[in-house]
Structure 1
Amino acid sequence: MNIGTQILILEVPMESFFGKSTIYPVLIKDEDGLTLVDTGMLGQLEPLRKAISDVGEDISRLKRIILTHQDIDHIGNVHALLDLLPNIALLAHKDDIPYMTGERPFVKLTPERINLMDAALKQQAEDMVRRLPDLRFAHILEDGEHLPYGGGIQIIHTPGHTPGHISLYVPAQKLLLAADELRVVEGELVGPAESATPDMPLALKSLDKLTVLDVDKVLCYHGGYYDQNVQARLQALSQTKE
């Protein structure tokens, strides 16, 4: 699915601790190449490559990766992509970068959780953690920052799910790329998953930043596309914390 000519929604099948599902990374298309928003789960390079091909693009045109946060299903293929294309630029919010470089332990991917994985996934997770200090970030993102990609996007710091979680706003399309701040469940737009959100009160407070945006469509990493009276729904979700 495309939104305008520059926003391409990828559909990538995923297997995780919670079973099978589909995730929705995004490609942003510019003349100089492609920006990928999030990379999928560990071991998903080939499904990601196919999803990129399915929207008529080639993985070799990737120029940069925006990581919305540190969770394993968002950064899982970053090393595989860098092995394939060493010059890809990485971008992330300053508050999650220390976790992605191994300076601090992951908020949710603990050694105990890794030990519960099957042997293959456990090995992949351990290899990723070992390689974290190799990651170099070309750009450290700040709340409210504007980037030129896709005709212009704005960084919205929406902490709670992780300290440096970000959502992306595309004003020209009235589109919110919500990452994990929002989900679509059984056709309805809902807030972040409480079981995967260590600071739920902060995550709910972060919804306030979304209610002031001129948005008529949302793309959630889990659940996909939603365009039913979005602003009213965001207001209702924001009020649930009160």
Structure 2
Amino acid sequence: MKVENGIYMLEISANIMERESVIYPTVIWDKDSLLLIDTGFPGQFQEISNVFEKEGIPFNKLEAIILTHQDIDHIGSCASILKEISGEVEVLAHEEEKEYINGEKTPIKLAQLREKLDYLPDNLKMFYEKLKIGFEASRVDVDKTLVDGQELPYCGGITVVYTPGHTPGHICLYFQQWKLLIAGDILNVEDGILNKTKEDINFNNELNIKSIEKLMKYDIETVICYHGGLYKGDVKKRLGELVKGL
């Protein structure tokens, strides 16, 4: 789905613990560059490739992948994409996420499950084992690390917004030209309403609220959420409500 000139929101079906869902990676495509923001779960290379083809986007021209954070549904197919595309594709992520993505540190969600492993029901123990295998297969090197406020020279300019809380190095991407935010997992859309991510899957909820408050400094009219898709409305007002717990 074309959201703005050069910005496409992809719709990818996913199955999480026997529950059907949809994720929304984003493609940035202009005359000079082609980028993918987040890469789905492990094993979704073909689905992503098919959606590129459906949208008329040349998958083999991909130049860079930006990972908003370390979670398996965001990094999962990155290694497969790098393997399948013949040209050099750079991987970018925040400096705080690098060692989780390349496997030097245990990913946060996996470590949290491991700490509780003796007390988990059998279905979650099985989920832990699958997640562990998934992360091991999804390790990739981060070629360039990003910092807060960095301006990326793509599609008229992209501002990196450091928004820790969901994970230590979570980022959003802001396009001033279109007043558009790619929100990663700091926000989601449920039944047409913009919400914050559930507290029980955040690394640090206090940091997460501060990061949502930080987003209020930006003039945002459109939000692309990885879970829930597109949101248009009075974004600043809604962010203020979320900060207040409404």
- TM-score norm. by structure 2 comes to 0.89
Q: State the partner residue of 1:50.
A: 50
Distance 2:37 2:137 in 1: 23
Over 3 Å counting, the alpha-carbon distance change for 1:21 and 1:41 in structure 2 is same
Give the drift of 1:109: 2.4
Of the candidates 195, 199, 207, which is equivalent to residue 202 of structure 1?
Answer: 207
Stretches (4+) displaced over 3 A: 110-115
2:160 corresponds to 1:150: no
Farther off after superposition, 206-215 or 195-204 = 195-204
Distance 1:235 1:68 in 2: 23
Of the candidates 166, 185, 192, which is equivalent to residue 190 of structure 2?
Answer: 185
Does the 8 Å CA contact 1:72/1:109 hold for their aligned counterparts?
no
Q: Percent identity?
A: 38
Q: Secondary structure at the match of 2:36?
A: strand
2:69 corresponds to 1:64: no
Q: Secondary structure at the match of 2:230?
A: strand
- Any unmatched runs of 5+ in structure 2? none
Q: Map 1:1-242 onto structure 2 (within 5 A).
A: 1-17=1-17, 19-85=19-85, 87-110=88-111, 115-117=125-127, 122=130, 125-126=132-133, 128-129=135-136, 132=139, 135-240=140-245
Q: Secondary structure at the match of 2:183?
A: strand
Give the drift of 1:118: 9.5
Q: Secondary structure at the match of 1:163?
A: coil
Q: Secondary structure at the match of 2:209?
A: helix
Distance 1:41 1:77 in 2: 6
Farther off after superposition, 26-35 or 89-98 = 26-35
Distance 1:131 1:204 in 2: 29
Does the 8 Å CA contact 2:42/2:134 hold for their aligned counterparts?
no
Over 3 Å counting, the alpha-carbon distance change for 1:130 and 1:50 in structure 2 is closer
